[in-house]
Structure 1
Amino acid sequence: MTESVKEKPIVWTISGSDCSGGAGIAADIKTGHALGVEVCHLITANTVQNANRLISINPVACETLQQQAKVLIDDKPPSVIKIGLIANLEQVTWLTELLAGFKANYPKISVVFDPVGQASVGGSFSTLEREDLTLLFHYVDVITPNLMEAQQLSNLLTLDPVELAIKISELGVASVIVKGGHSAVLDNDGLQISDDYCLHHVEQSSISYQLSSPRINTSYSHGGGCSFASAVTAFLAHGYLLRDAFTLTKAFINQGLAKSVTASIKKPDYYGAFQQTHWPNNADFFPRISSNLVKKYQALPPFPSLALSDTKLGLYPVVDSLYWLKRLLPLGLNIIQLRLKNKTDIELEALIIAAIAISQPYKTRLFINDYWQLAIKHRAYGVHIGQEDLQNANLTRIQQSGLHLGISTHGCYEFLLAQQLQPSYLAIGAIFPTKTKNMSGQIQGVENLQQLLKLASNIPVVAIGGINLQRAERVWQTGVDSIAVVTAITESENAEIAVKQFQHIMQ
């Protein structure tokens, strides 16, 4: 039997060739292959360098680059383009015109720019000034400077990545990631940490993401910056949102640096090549989220556990009425959620009071969706809060009231953030497209669910979104603790039979 081959996303890398194989195109190709994308490359310059020094830069003619781009766009159009070394002003002009045409004809193509200026071994890759890149910036979706490059682009001397990112974003770039690998700060315990900062512009607003990891000291980091930008490129090509591509990239870099620690001890003065390993799947290498929300509640104790012992949560129906609570509570469920929408304040309170009363005779854990103040007031078992509502919720009051807390997450960034808040359970979704919410760009799929479960601590994990009886077995086999369903029960021909069928799968 012939196995079907999954088609890989295609990315282009437009950068210089490092004859020593550490940085540039070589790093891009190794990173792309490690992360499951097909890499087409256009070489802007052949460099003469090794682990000790940069000797010369030999630019490739724009005519050659244009011919390569022309034949590739017909055969292997990219979903993402990564730009590295730009050797001269002629290449800037060519590249700007190329991207302008691509953006007009292929608006979904994303562009990641790693503004390579200085070689880590010393010497300059380019004589270009910031002003030479002004027009190019308008076609760049993500720029990934290190601290030194960020200072040059911003004309600021500060080491504050927030200030640097804000200033660079004024150049017209949609999103800025300032890599912190060339610096280290001390945390509260005196340990060296490496911070990376991302400023992401979405429509008329901006969102920031900051990631922190213990610094990994190794001299084998040649090409690490190129690999960082290439990893962002690869994850974007796989369809990840920028916040998740950023988080996965940080883990990929940590993983590669850790792989080289032993070699670095043996040859401490040798500037060896960064090691591109594999898809990041070890929780130890994933960063901590340094958001304002996490900092606000970092001293908060864990929320109460669900006291499951050796059993799993199993089936988790999400319903919108007392009718469905009355119908499903007698069916031996461990957990159920009441999600009320489009009700007046008076109606909400009356329904929540009634729901809590109805659930009292049963051992089923009743979670109220969103309305944490009413859940506290009327002593519900728990409250479920969506990621978008976390900012406005008072987690201290919720924790002090004794309420159990469930939090929705969509992707690894939100999963790690929510996990640091130590809730009673975490929900991952949407696993599949769903009738109840528009989850465009946030469909996780079973494969990504499996990856996220590798990052889980001892907090129970619930899978939710578009899961029906036909899909439930596959989802349950991932090892998830619970499957939440909505229409698979409420729109079934016989809800009681549907519940039994789900419960049978989750035995």
Structure 2
Amino acid sequence: MLSTTSFPPVIVCVGGSDPSAHAGLQADIRVGQDLGVHVTTVVSALTAQNSQSVLAVYPVEKEQFDRQWESILADMTPGVVKIGLLPNAELASATAFWLRTIKTDYPACRIVFDPVGVSSTGHRLHSFTSGDPADSTEPMSWLKMLLPLVDWVTPNTHEFEQIVQSVSTIDQPINRLDLVSKFDHLLAQYPELRQSQWVIKGGHAHNEAKEQSNNQTGSSSRHCVDWLFSEMVKVDGLVSPFGFSSKRQENGHSRGTGCSFATALSSFLALGYDEMDSLTLTKSYINHALSLSYQVGKNTGPLATCGWPSKIQYLPDILQINNNQGASNEVFFPEMEPRSLGLYPVVDTPEWIERLLKAGVTTVQLRVKDPNSATLEQDIRKAIALGEHYQAQVFINDYWQKAIEFGAYGVHLGQEDLLTADLDKVANAGLRLGVSTHGYFEIARAGKVHPSYIALGHIFPTQTKDMPSQPQGTTRLQKYANLLSGVYPTVAIGGINSEVFDAVLDTGVDGIAMVTAITRSANPEQIVTDFMRKINASNASNQFRSKG
């Protein structure tokens, strides 16, 4: 769901206070403010710690804990609750009570649980040995209270292994199982945990998805892969686990990475991004923050703030264990001059293509929706011939085999087509490639095939196609354009007409794809002339500013 409010969404962060501000609630506030959400806090413990060690953990009294919850919920509507350090079973039980209350009063609120067990310095942060018989020392006793109430769980590999070990009934050591087997074993013991989405972070250990998947995923000491296990997410028919892989940072300062990851994820969810976009953004944010991390004490320093993710080099590689396409080598397609895109009509007949090329359009796409059309091959051949005659860039939508056969300039593919098309064959034929995307996750996935341009949509509600995603709007479009600027040419598409054309152009995209605004116009040639004049004026202005 996209955020429709003009004020910052509220997230509640539950955790310990770190006086050195390397981790804990201080890091939560720093990350949330950096990403534009309002962070409220419920202090579970006061800690005495610094860059070298955790000296002491002082749990707050339950009455103090509860009053903090009461004060927030009486005044604000939480979008996401992030649970961090819970130092004892009493506060874990109290947290379960408040989560049940929130689930009743604010059913749209999502819960992110980061099961903090040990600090980065190796100090155990929780203790369930209060002496009260009601406080069980069995780790799963408090996990059983919390896990059925949460939507996301974000343990690192060590924390996840501790959780699995606590429910193990098998003879062999857990650490000898691959990650998928560990997760399957956990769900076999507690099937109710299937309702949660698990992100198992790989920063603390080598990633072991499946023994035979190492060549696919590129898992090694040089890469950190965070794996999403979820029965709620399907992407083009593919199911989890999905991997979000990045090169390991050499900086060495990483205090607070776990809590920063969970808080960044909470922030993006609160801002209205879906699961896969939120994870892609979180990974990108942490990668950038790690690259800027710094030493402020005598030992390991904290992550830096880095603002909204806008550096494409920090986007993760997207991996999928059960998909052979994910194992293929990277593909590279011919580059395009960004300014050559401009006005980019998408039409369904060669007659329209000829009419538009005569009007001065230089880039156009043939999109024939019916694969059983009796004139399909004829239409593709004619469209390609028109492009050659007018020296224009004509792209063929979907039909990549026929585009190769008939010598097209380029082909445009959707995300699902990237999994089935022979991309090596398309590239070897010298065709340009355009790829449709609908958010950060799909941009990251498209980046692996190095297309000639990336289409961004849909920006507004469209009349030509039923879309599973929601309209992006110009605010998000501008963020996408900034991310891809100078790396891939960009094309905005979806519901763009005369009323919004200027706003779309101002985002900095290189091309604007239009359909009904042209084809249903009383005077298409005049509309084309007007739009092209605006694009040319914008290009001239941008060129002047760059020289200045």
TM-score normalised by structure 2 residue count: 0.82
Letter in 2 for 1:276: T
Indicate if the aligned counterparts of 1:303 and 1:403 stay in contact, CA closer than 8 A. Answer: yes
| Aligned match of 1:247 | 280
* Residue-by-residue CA offset, 1:128-159 (whole Å, 9 max, x unaligned): 61343124222222211111111112223158
Indicate if the aligned counterparts of 2:10 and 2:77 stay in contact, CA closer than 8 A. Answer: yes
| Aligned match of 2:335 | 305
| 1:48-127 matched pairs, under 5 angstroms | 48-127=48-127
User: What fraction of aligned residue pairs are identical, expressed as a percent?
Assistant: 39
Letter in 2 for 1:437: K
Indicate if the aligned counterparts of 1:297 and 1:396 stay in contact, CA closer than 8 A. Answer: no
Secondary structure of the corresponding residue to residue 492 of structure 1? coil
| 1:358-377 matched pairs, under 5 angstroms | 358-377=386-405
Structure 2 CA distance, aligned partners of 1:145 and 1:56?
Answer: 23
| Aligned match of 1:147 | 157
Secondary structure of the corresponding residue to residue 121 of structure 1? coil
**CA shift for structure 1 position 385:** 0.7
| Aligned match of 2:222 | 192
**CA shift for structure 1 position 201:** 3.0
Unaligned runs of 5+ in 1: none
| Aligned match of 2:440 | 412
**CA shift for structure 1 position 480:** 1.8
Greater Cα shift, 162-171 or 418-427:
162-171
Structure 2 CA distance, aligned partners of 1:287 and 1:159?
Answer: 26
The partner residue of 2:147 within 137, 149, 166 is 137
Secondary structure of the corresponding residue to residue 202 of structure 1? coil
Task: Name the CA shift for 1:433/1:189 in 2 (closer, same or farther; >3 Å).
Answer: closer
Greater Cα shift, 400-409 or 347-356:
347-356
**CA shift for structure 1 position 60:** 2.8
| Aligned match of 2:520 | 491
**CA shift for structure 1 position 83:** 0.7
**CA shift for structure 1 position 504:** 1.1
**CA shift for structure 1 position 33:** 0.7
| 1:220-369 matched pairs, under 5 angstroms | 220-261=253-294, 263=295, 270-291=299-320, 295-300=326-331, 302-306=332-336, 308=337, 311-344=339-372, 346-369=374-397
Structure 1 CA distance, aligned partners of 2:178 and 2:470?
Answer: 31
**CA shift for structure 1 position 57:** 2.9
Greater Cα shift, 39-48 or 57-66:
57-66
Secondary structure of the corresponding residue to residue 483 of structure 2? coil
Structure 2 CA distance, aligned partners of 1:71 and 1:231?
Answer: 24
Indicate if the aligned counterparts of 1:147 and 1:159 stay in contact, CA closer than 8 A. Answer: no
| Aligned match of 1:202 | 232
Indicate if the aligned counterparts of 1:294 and 1:420 stay in contact, CA closer than 8 A. Answer: no
Letter in 2 for 1:11: I
**CA shift for structure 1 position 342:** 3.8
**CA shift for structure 1 position 162:** 4.6
The partner residue of 1:177 within 180, 183, 199 is 199
**CA shift for structure 1 position 244:** 2.0
Task: Name the CA shift for 1:376/1:27 in 2 (closer, same or farther; >3 Å).
Answer: same
Secondary structure of the corresponding residue to residue 332 of structure 1? coil
Structure 2 CA distance, aligned partners of 1:144 and 1:221?
Answer: 17
Letter in 1 for 2:520: E
Root mean square deviation of aligned Cα: 2.9
* Residue-by-residue CA offset, 1:78-114 (whole Å, 9 max, x unaligned): 1111111122223333322332332234222111111
Structure 2 CA distance, aligned partners of 1:349 and 1:314?
Answer: 27
The partner residue of 2:491 within 462, 465, 468 is 462
Unaligned runs of 5+ in 2: 129-138, 166-173, 208-213, 537-548
Letter in 2 for 1:491: R
Structure 2 CA distance, aligned partners of 1:165 and 1:286?
Answer: 26
* Residue-by-residue CA offset, 1:144-190 (whole Å, 9 max, x unaligned): 11111111122231585555555556533521112222235899899
Letter in 2 for 1:102: I
| Aligned match of 1:481 | 510
Task: Name the CA shift for 1:293/1:314 in 2 (closer, same or farther; >3 Å).
Answer: farther
TM-score normalised by structure 1 residue count: 0.88
| Aligned match of 2:133 | none
Structure 1 CA distance, aligned partners of 2:140 and 2:74?
Answer: 32
Structure 2 CA distance, aligned partners of 1:179 and 1:85?
Answer: 17
Structure 2 CA distance, aligned partners of 1:441 and 1:190?
Answer: 35
Letter in 2 for 1:148: H
* Residue-by-residue CA offset, 1:463-495 (whole Å, 9 max, x unaligned): 112222232223223332211111221222321
**CA shift for structure 1 position 319:** 1.3
Structure 2 CA distance, aligned partners of 1:190 and 1:67?
Answer: 47
| Aligned match of 2:247 | 214
Task: Name the CA shift for 1:356/1:442 in 2 (closer, same or farther; >3 Å).
Answer: same
Task: Name the CA shift for 1:333/1:136 in 2 (closer, same or farther; >3 Å).
Answer: same
Secondary structure of the corresponding residue to residue 75 of structure 1? coil
Structure 2 CA distance, aligned partners of 1:393 and 1:117?
Answer: 45
Aligned length: 496
**CA shift for structure 1 position 415:** 1.2
Indicate if the aligned counterparts of 2:489 and 2:510 stay in contact, CA closer than 8 A. Answer: yes
Letter in 2 for 1:175: Q
**CA shift for structure 1 position 73:** 2.5
Structure 1 CA distance, aligned partners of 2:100 and 2:220?
Answer: 48
Letter in 1 for 2:49: Q
Secondary structure of the corresponding residue to residue 119 of structure 1? coil
**CA shift for structure 1 position 43:** 1.4
Structure 2 CA distance, aligned partners of 1:443 and 1:207?
Answer: 25
**CA shift for structure 1 position 275:** 2.5
Indicate if the aligned counterparts of 2:99 and 2:149 stay in contact, CA closer than 8 A. Answer: yes
Indicate if the aligned counterparts of 1:332 and 1:364 stay in contact, CA closer than 8 A. Answer: no
| Aligned match of 1:392 | 420
Letter in 2 for 1:469: S
Greater Cα shift, 154-163 or 454-463:
154-163
**CA shift for structure 1 position 453:** 2.9
Secondary structure of the corresponding residue to residue 146 of structure 2? helix
